[in-house]
Amino acid sequence: MAEVEYSKGLEGVVAGESVICQIDGQNGKLFYRGYNIDDLVKKSTYEETVYLLLFEQLPTAAELAEFTGNFRSGRHIVTPIQDMIRNFPPGGDPMELLQSVMSYLSGYVEHKIKHSATCNCRQTLHQVAQLATVIAAYQRFKEGKPYVVPRQDLSHGANFLYMLRGEEPLPYEAAIMDKCLVLHAEHGFNTSTFTARVVASSLSTCYSSISAAIGALRGPLHGGANEQVMDMLKEIGAVDNVDSWLDKTLAEKKKIMGMGHREYKVKDPRSYVMEGFLRELSEKKGDSRYLSILTKLEKSFRSRMDEKGKPLYPNVDYFSGSVYALLGIPQYLFSPIFALARCAGWLAHILEQRKDNRLFRPECLYTGPQPREYTALEKR
């Protein structure tokens, strides 16, 4: 049989076209619909970024006001969904809850996707608006506290912290949380987004597509990486232990979590921004334990990689977990927060997939047994 070449993990394979996100991995640049991520973080809000992703352009003041009002009015989750969250098994993973709730939410919205490529998800926005409320409700119920009704006068990041805590966050905390959501809103054909597009290619609903994307995001090689960074920090313990821990870990050929990215050959542009947030929080809260270890680890790791000529640099997960920890968010909510931010990007890609849809059905290189005779049970 002739040898067939293929790309494991589809690395380097172009699977489709998109006008949503551009990643310049050689120069460390990221753009949402042509806008640099640095500009969006500095000048935009999560809600305005969602508008950009879904409607393909920045809104006018009037358009943003209408969109924001619609978006914020859709944050509340009805009692049956609250009951579902409250009764979720205590030992269950919150990402499994998000998958389940996403499908359940679907029953409360009138879809327009029956055997067509159109839907009303740009108008309802329930998937994007309500995930934050679901996560906050989960945490409140886990702590034995009551559901906090979302407020419509707060940004998405501020409202999320408010629903978690039951009190309004400080302005700088609210701003950082909202900008973290902007950073995570979109990132091209990553694993979860590609999953969403594959499901959408069958003309399934946005809710089914996003539920599948949440499942893909759950893995430690994708959305769960920042949780593993926090485990790494706990294992290191103190800044004085960094070099000995790193020597041992590299000798055992273990992965340094938060280092390296398939797309970036330089430092992830989002990691610079996230590092800035961590510095600000560390200073204002008087707690530099995470920053000191991460700074020393990055320097030591890079010196070793430079010697080997390996382009492994911090990605966004390297600093994000520490930022969330200093905002008082428990570690098991880090991946769900990734989902609530990325939901906007997923929806944008689902809608784009439907514009010129073709069902994803790749070929598979068969390497199993050649045709053989079936042996009767009594002769085996």
- Catalytic residue numbers? 222, 261, 317
Place of tokens 């430079």: 306
Question: Could you give phi then psi for residue 138, rounded to 5 degrees?
Answer: -55, -45
Helix extents (H) in the chain: 37-43, 46-55, 61-73, 79-86, 94-106, 121-124, 126-142, 156-165, 171-183, 191-200, 206-217, 225-236, 242-251, 269-285, 289-308, 316-326, 334-355
Closest CA to 138 of 154, 160, 158: 160
Distance CA 189, CA 380 (A): 47
Q: Please give the angle made by the CA atoms of 356, 36 and 169, to the nearest 5 degrees.
A: 105
Closest CA to 42 of 160, 162, 170, 178: 178
Q: Is 49 exposed, middle or buried (0-12, 13-18, 19+ CB in 10 A)?
A: buried
Cα dihedral sign, 358-363-364-370: positive
Distance, first Cα to last Cα, the chain: 29
Q: How many residues are recorded in the chain?
A: 380
Q: Which residues of 25-47 are buried (b: 16+ CB within 10 A; e: fewer)?
A: eeebebbbbebebeebbeebbbb
Q: Please give the angle made by the CA atoms of 217, 220 and 225, to the nearest 5 degrees.
A: 95
Collapsing DSSP to helix, strand or coil, 30 comes out as strand
Collapsing DSSP to helix, strand or coil, 292 comes out as helix
Residue 5: DSSP 8-state: -
Question: Could you give phi then psi for residue 23, rounded to 5 degrees?
Answer: -115, 120
